Copies of this chain bind each other. A is one copy, B any other.
């Protein structure tokens, strides 16, 4: 990892909203991400919350639409919002399908050609990005949390369950919890990981939580008017897996809310407080 470039930095809520680009070894190419530094970061290292976006999104989506910075500025929480996949990979078939490829990295380390050349978002988000953040921003890496939406909720849950010592807190909005069992996952995982479902289990929150629990309550918010609830999300499967494995889970169902960022904006403050508590900010 060498190149690190500031695309823009603007003042927001007394802190700095920035967009950056760096070279990723994991993805073998440039990656973009957004960082919000609260005012407190000018004085001291602050805890950090990673927020992973969903299908079709970029590093701009949650940055612009979630409205997380206002309370992050109050709490003293750094926000990191990466892109959802490598871009401009040149791989045939990597663009043009909103459910697979660019914009749809599913936070896996692809093992199947040609995707394994670039689509290694698990390593990027769990290893490489945090190292770069630690090198360039005033963060207290011992106090890290992770959250996300939809495919990004799947990313947050699976990364936290795979690396429970790295994160003190995890939450998700309308996450994909059982990709091995739903159309989005059944379409993407075989192409990224091969046809053997055993390989998919490392990227399936319902499977992972049966192997190892997370030391803390997992917060999940789900809108009941979510157009993807029944076919793709199935939070009841994760509820059941957590119950069976002894994982503490707070699953909240909200009547009337859909899958959009309006839903996220409505409950983002609750998630920030959930993380702030685990990160010793409250």
**CB < 8 Å: which of B13, B64, B225, B265 contacts A266?**
B13
- CB pair B67–A11 under 8 Å, yes or no, is no
Contact of A67 among B10, B70, B223, B225 (CB under 8 A): B70
Partner of A258, one of B11, B67, B225: B11
Out of B70, B223, B256, which one reaches A265, CB within 8 Å? B70
Complex interface: chain B residues within 8 A of A65 (CB): 64
What are the residues of chain B within 8 A of A12 when measuring CB–CB?
262-263, 265-266
A11 touches B265 (CB 8 A): no
A69 interface hit (Cβ, 8 Å): yes
Q: Is A14 in the interface zone, CB < 8 Å from B?
A: yes
CA A10 to CA B13, docked complex, whole Å: 27
A260 with B10: in contact, given A67-B67, A67-B70 (CB under 8 Å)?
Answer: yes
Identical chains in the assembly: 2
Q: CB-CB < 8 A to A4: which residues of B?
A: none
Contact B70 A17 (CB under 8 A): no
Bits for A249-267, please: 1 = Cβ < 8 Å to B, else 0.
0000000111010110110
Chain A interface mostly:
mixed
Closest B residue, CB atoms, query A17:
B262
A268 to chain B, nearest CB (A): 9
In the complex, what residues of B have CB within 8 A of residue A14's CB? 266
Chain B residue at smallest Cβ distance from A260: B10
State the CA gap A65–B261 with chains docked (Å): 12
When distances are taken between beta carbons in the complex, the residues of chain B under 8 Å from A223 are: 11
Residues of chain B within 8 A of A10, CB atoms compared: 258, 260, 262-263
Chain A residues engaging chain B, CB cutoff 8 angstroms: 10-14, 17, 64-65, 67, 69-70, 223, 225, 256-258, 260, 262-263, 265-266
12 more A-B contacts (CB under 8 A) besides A10-B258, A10-B263? A11-B223, A11-B266, A12-B263, A12-B265, A13-B266, A14-B266, A17-B262, A64-B64, A67-B67, A67-B70, A69-B265, A70-B265
